[in-house]
Amino acid sequence: MSGGEELYQQAIKDWAQADHGHGRLDPADAAACADSPLCGDRVRLTLRLDSGRVAALAQETRGCLLCRAAASLLGRRASGMDAAAAASATAALEALLAEGRDAPPAWPELAMFAPARSFRSRHKCVLLPFRALRQALEGVSHREQ
């Protein structure tokens, strides 16, 4: 019953609306599909890689604004990331949500998700695209509960 509206700042709506990188790469060098069976969100990523780094990313996302904003952010910003970078961005986002850390200098946009801190059931919505990226780059499967 508290402050659910702050979540929906213009930035989030804009990123979701923009839907950067929407689509599917075919052929692709890596792909991942992460879903949250309990809420029905789903992110499908296809990647072209260049020596282990993202050369191009396309995303098809079904989900809430938070999930779509995060996917769109990756659609815009994932270029050049390798597995280590994906892991550290995900960790930074987790720390921002769970522990109240600031967004790291490399990812100032993550700050828009700070209002989601107090809504634990929404953390997974934000994290889903990032976890999908890790999964695609690490070649491990990941399914969010």
Does residue 139 interact with other proteins by CB under 8 A? Answer: no
Using the rule CB under 8 A, give the single segment among 30-38, 45-53, 74-82, 127-135 that binds other proteins: 30-38
Pair of tokens at residue 3: 């402050």
Q: How far is the CB of 138 from other proteins (least distance, A)?
A: 18
Length of the chain measured in residues: 145
SS3 content of the chain, % helix, strand, coil (to 5): 50, 20, 30
Using the rule CB under 8 A, give the single segment among 7-15, 25-33, 78-86, 126-134 that binds other proteins: 7-15
For residue 39, how many C-alpha atoms fall within 13 Å in the half-sphere facing its CB?
19
Beta bridge partners of 61: 43
CB-neighbour burial class of residue 3 (10 A; exposed 0-12, middle 13-18, buried 19+): exposed
Q: How far is the CB of 117 from other proteins (least distance, A)?
A: 12
CB of 44 or CB of 122, closer to other proteins: 122
CB of 54 or CB of 144, closer to other proteins: 144
Q: What does the alpha-carbon distance between residue 75 and residue 96 come to, in Å, rounded to a whole number?
A: 20
CB of 30 or CB of 41, closer to other proteins: 41
Q: Which residue has the tokens 């070649």?
A: 139
Does residue 62 interact with other proteins by CB under 8 A? Answer: yes
Q: Pick out residues in 78-137 that bind other proteins (CB under 8 A).
A: 119-122, 125
CB of 84 or CB of 98, closer to other proteins: 98
